[in-house]
């Protein structure tokens, strides 16, 4: 369950729908150079969120120092909690794998 405190304000190009959680999103930058902060809140882990903005889960093996992101670097997608658990179950050192949730970082653009 995601705490409401993790929710973020959506960003969107003027007149568009707010589905970006990062005002510096490269897809949003293609649409506008001046994104607008929307009203309401988005859960960054669910719903209709831009795929480039979705925070990524990670899994790291403390035994062999390999991470899911390193192992699947050609994938290019953000990793879900299910993907992290799947990687852990398939990794040769499975009991030693740490799964970490995504970190939500505050937007770098100032809101005025």
- Pair 31, 64 in one domain: no
Q: 49 with 6, same domain? A: yes
Q: CA–CA separation, 63 vs 69, rounded Å? A: 16
- Encode the chain (112 residues) as per-residue pLDDT tens digits: 445 556 777 777 665 556 787 778 888 888 877 887 877 777 766 666 777 777 778 899 888 888 888 877 655 567 788 888 888 888 888 677 888 887 766 555 554 4
Domain of 45 in residue numbering reads as 1-53
- Helix or strand (DSSP H, E) at 60: strand 58-61
Q: Kindly state whether residue 34 falls inside one of the protein's structural domains.
A: yes
Q: Are residues 92 and 68 in the same domain?
A: yes
Query: 106 lies in a domain?
Result: no
pLDDT of residue 81: 82
Tell me what pLDDT residue 101 has: 82
Distances in Å between the Cα of 11 and the Cα atoms of 3, 49, 60, 77, 99 are: 20, 10, 31, 21, 29
Query: What was the pLDDT predicted at 71?
Result: 78
- Predicted confidence at residue 25, as pLDDT, reads 80
Its pTM stands at: 0.51
Claim to verify: residue 62 and residue 76 sit in the same structural domain: yes
pLDDT for the residue 2: 46
Number of structural domains (the chain) is: 2
Side-chain-facing half-sphere of 87: CA atoms under 13 Å: 24
């Amino acid at each position: 369950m995601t705490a409401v405190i993790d929710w973020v304000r959506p960003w969107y190009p003027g007149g568009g729908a707010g589905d970006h959680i990062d005002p510096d999103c490269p897809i949003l930058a293609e649409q506008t150079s001046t994104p607008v902060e929307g009203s309401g809140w988005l859960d960054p882990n669910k719903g209709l969120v831009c795929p480039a903005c979705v925070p990524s889960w990670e899994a790291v093996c403390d035994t062999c120092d390999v991470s899911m992101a390193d192992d699947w670097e050609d994938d290019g997608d953000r990793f879900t909690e299910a993907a992290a658990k799947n990687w852990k179950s398939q990794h040769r050192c499975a009991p030693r794998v740490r799964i970490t949730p995504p970190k939500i970082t505050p937007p770098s653009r100032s809101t005025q």
